[in-house]
């Protein structure tokens, strides 16, 4: 077996290594969420940590890793006698993004339970991770219901499996580590709050550090065992220090002064709930133990705040992460007393003997760069500003709650909250024969299928005889996430300052709605002589918001080019993710002035959308006392609907009337 990359050989990533070590010292801290760009040693650091954890004693043959000295009285493999046991290395269990609920929590063999009356339970990954590490790479891409199950188990220290009246419970205490790339989408604030600590990681911009990263990585790839051997002494020292800190932890004193600083800090930063206070207290205690002290100092409280609070201050995906350190220092100084040390010690507590790990960076680091396209001059006769023929970018208006836009029909895409779909979770709508393993039994349908055959099967009167062919899988209907592709008119006809502010505010509101409904989003803009993909389809709605904020305006209106570019984006995305249905939101006043025969070309492009059946909505941005109704005509050619900016608001009278009309029309179509 190849030796893992040594933890102490990582270059930089101080906060990442400190957060991982604190969880190793005190798993009660609640795990760590690692956010950062690709290639920043996130996965390498987590795998390296598993080699540092001390061995654990387990009951021989127990699939749930019960401790011999205090076995779980409710263990499904129990009861176990106290004492004995065998030692083994602490496990690191990885949860794949595509894992099912059964794979995570375990599953009952429903067929054996019905046919034989045997309660046979197959443990899942939560059981495997008990007393070890559960690592979730790309945790933001997991389905929400899996994240809920995962974090509930981490909070309660136990996993519960309920299936058809049969209940199984087992201990599930583990060090939870999740990694994510924010460019691929955010976790909901409610889920962010369930992670104890969070760290932001980025590749070093220092050439010397980057050179050292490459040297160490190449040396490891050439001879993993030899490279690990050269770091064995440092690894042993950190392992011993973790053991010592764990032993010291129960004796660490968290005084009233430190508790007052913790409470004041959470109040000053307006953190919701009390979880942040508890996590900060546990983190500060672990920091003191890691530094070899029996008292929590102000430096521990400060470091705990930097790790435990930033992700709890984000209330929507457009809030910038981070913490105002000047405000933090002022709060600690105001509420400090003789029980704590008001001056942070930057050299205390790392694996080298201080509070921070050594200054290194990970073995897999890279950086990206990008630039903005050059804007073009406008000639629609609208007031222009900024550069040659271009309006300066204006800020978006305040976001608002939008009416629900959805894709008609019944899909089978990724779990979400927008359009109707066949899903694993939701209301039961029917039954079918299982295709593969049976996961959701439809009991009534199974009984109906078995009932006619009871006489032929020699039923004795003591119960229903059920065979494999009788079993029926429940079919369920829930909601799916869609690809919401925004096609935004940025031409001169849209460039009036107040009007563009309202348009950007509307798109920002739709982006916030897409975030809450777990959609992917994309952004196509058109102006001047053509169209561009400002943002390819992604789960990162905050990236779309950033592109929207700096969107330049001006020039003619190449409506056809914008629609054709959007059509190409959908064609490519359909190859990548065929199950995710698209919803095209065209934000325009409906004018077409760019190119040869612009109106005819725009009509042909719109009819191409209609022919392929893409769901579409046109947000009519036309204003003024005289309106041409061009956006409504465009919606008709697209085969979609049109809404005005006012109707887009969920709480507007116009929107309410429109919703009633749509509901009435849908009811008549169903009838």
What is the SS3 string spanning 449-498? HHHHHCCCCCCCCCCCCCCHHHCCEEEEEEEECCEEEEEEECCHHHCCHH
- Distances 85 to 68, 70, 88, 157, 626 between C-alpha atoms, Å: 5, 11, 10, 22, 84
Give 546's contacts (C-beta < 8 A, 6+ positions apart): none
Q: Are 402 and 649 in contact (CB under 8 A)?
A: yes
Place of tokens 């979770």: 425
- What the block records as the tokens of 346 is 């930057």
Q: Please give the Cα distance from 518 to 412 (Å, whole number).
A: 15
- 3 state SS of 158: strand
- 576 given a catalytic annotation: no
352-358 long-range contacts, CB within 8 A, separation 24+:
354/291, 355/18, 355/287, 355/290, 355/291, 355/299, 355/300, 355/303, 356/14, 356/18, 357/10, 357/13, 357/14, 357/17, 357/18, 357/21, 358/8, 358/14
Given the residues 275, 417, 497, 604, the one annotated as active site: 275
Name the residue among 279, 296, 85 with its Cα closest to residue 194. 279
- What the block records as the tokens of 129 is 């991770």
Q: Find the angle CA(530)-CA(533)-CA(537) to the nearest 5 degrees.
A: 155
Helices (H) and strands (E) in the chain, counts: 21, 20
Q: Facing residues of 521 across strands? A: 484, 538
Q: Are 120 and 109 in contact (CB under 8 A)?
A: yes
Name the residue among 572, 557, 475 with its Cα closest to residue 522. 572
Q: Are 159 and 170 in contact (CB under 8 A)?
A: yes
- 3 state SS of 530: strand
Gyration radius (Cα) of the chain, Å: 29
Q: Which residues are catalytic?
A: 275
């Amino acid at each position: 077996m190849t030796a893992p990359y040594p933890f102490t050989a990582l270059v930089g990533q101080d906060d990442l290594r400190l957060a991982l070590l604190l969880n190793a010292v005190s798993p009660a801290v609640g795990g760590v969420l690692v956010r950062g760009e690709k290639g920043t040693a996130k996965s390498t650091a987590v795998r390296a940590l598993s080699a540092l954890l001390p061995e654990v004693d387990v009951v021989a043959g127990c699939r749930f890793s019960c401790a011999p000295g205090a076995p779980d009285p409710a263990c499904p493999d129990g009861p176990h006698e106290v004492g004995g046991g065998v030692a083994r290395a602490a496990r690191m269990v990885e949860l794949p993004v595509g894992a099912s609920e059964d794979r995570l929590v375990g599953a009952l063999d429903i067929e054996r339970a019905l046919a034989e009356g045997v309660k046979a339970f197959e443990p899942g990954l939560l059981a495997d991770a008990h007393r070890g590490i559960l690592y979730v790479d790309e945790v933001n891409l997991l389905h929400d219901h899996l994240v809920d199950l995962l974090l509930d188990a981490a909070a309660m220290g136990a996993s519960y499996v309920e299936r058809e009246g049969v209940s199984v419970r087992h201990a599930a205490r583990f060090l939870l580590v999740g990694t994510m790339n924010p460019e691929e989408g955010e976790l909901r604030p409610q889920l962010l709050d369930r992670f104890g600590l969070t760290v932001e990681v980025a590749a070093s911009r220092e050439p010397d550090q980057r050179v050292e990263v490459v040297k160490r990585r190449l040396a490891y790839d050439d001879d993993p065992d030899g490279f690990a051997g050269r770091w064995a002494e440092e690894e042993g020292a950190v392992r011993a220090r973790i053991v010592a800190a764990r032993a010291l932890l129960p004796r660490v004193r968290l005084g009233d002064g430190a508790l007052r600083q913790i409470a004041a800090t959470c109040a000053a930063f307006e953190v919701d709930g009390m979880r942040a206070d508890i996590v900060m207290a546990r983190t500060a205690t672990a920091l003191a133990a890691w530094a070899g002290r029996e008292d929590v100092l102000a430096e521990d409280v400060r470091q705990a705040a930097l790790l435990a609070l930033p992700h709890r201050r984000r209330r929507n995906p457009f809030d910038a992460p981070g913490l105002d350190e000047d405000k933090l220092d002022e709060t600690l100084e105001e509420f400090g007393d003789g029980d704590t040390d008001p001056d942070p010690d930057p050299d205390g507590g790392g694996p080298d003997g201080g509070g921070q790990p050594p200054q290194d960076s990970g073995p897999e680091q890279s950086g990206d760069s990008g630039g903005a396209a050059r804007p073009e001059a406008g000639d629609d006769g609208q007031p222009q500003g900024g550069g040659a023929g271009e309006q300066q970018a204006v800020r978006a208006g305040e976001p608002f709650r939008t009416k629900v836009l959805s894709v008609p029909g019944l899909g089978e895409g990724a779990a979400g909250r927008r359009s109707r779909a066949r899903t694993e979770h939701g209301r039961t709508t029917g039954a079918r024969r299982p295709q593969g393993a049976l996961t959701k039994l439809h009991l009534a349908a199974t009984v109906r299928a078995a009932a006619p055959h009871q006489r032929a099967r020699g039923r004795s009167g003591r119960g229903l005889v059920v065979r494999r062919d009788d079993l029926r899988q429940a079919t369920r209907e829930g909601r799916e996430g869609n690809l919401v592709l925004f096609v935004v008119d940025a031409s001169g006809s849209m460039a009036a300052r107040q009007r563009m502010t309202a348009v950007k505010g509307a798109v920002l509101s739709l982006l916030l709605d897409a975030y809450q409904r777990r959609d992917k989003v994309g952004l196509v803009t058109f102006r001047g002589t053509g169209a561009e993909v400002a943002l390819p389809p992604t789960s990162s709605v905050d990236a779309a918001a950033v592109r929207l904020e700096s969107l330049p305006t001006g020039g003619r209106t190449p409506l056809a080019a914008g629609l054709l570019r959007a059509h190409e984006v959908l064609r490519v995305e359909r190859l990548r993710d065929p199950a995710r249905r698209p919803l095209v939101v065209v934000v325009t006043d409906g004018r077409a002035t760019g190119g040869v025969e612009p109106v005819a070309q725009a009509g042909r492009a719109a009819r191409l959308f209609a022919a392929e059946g893409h769901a579409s909505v046109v947000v009519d941005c036309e204003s003024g006392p005289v309106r041409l109704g061009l956006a409504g005509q465009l919606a008709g050619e697209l085969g979609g609907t049109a809404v005005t900016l006012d109707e887009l608001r969920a709480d507007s009278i116009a929107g309410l009337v429109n919703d009633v009309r749509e509901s009435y029309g849908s009811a008549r179509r169903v009838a």
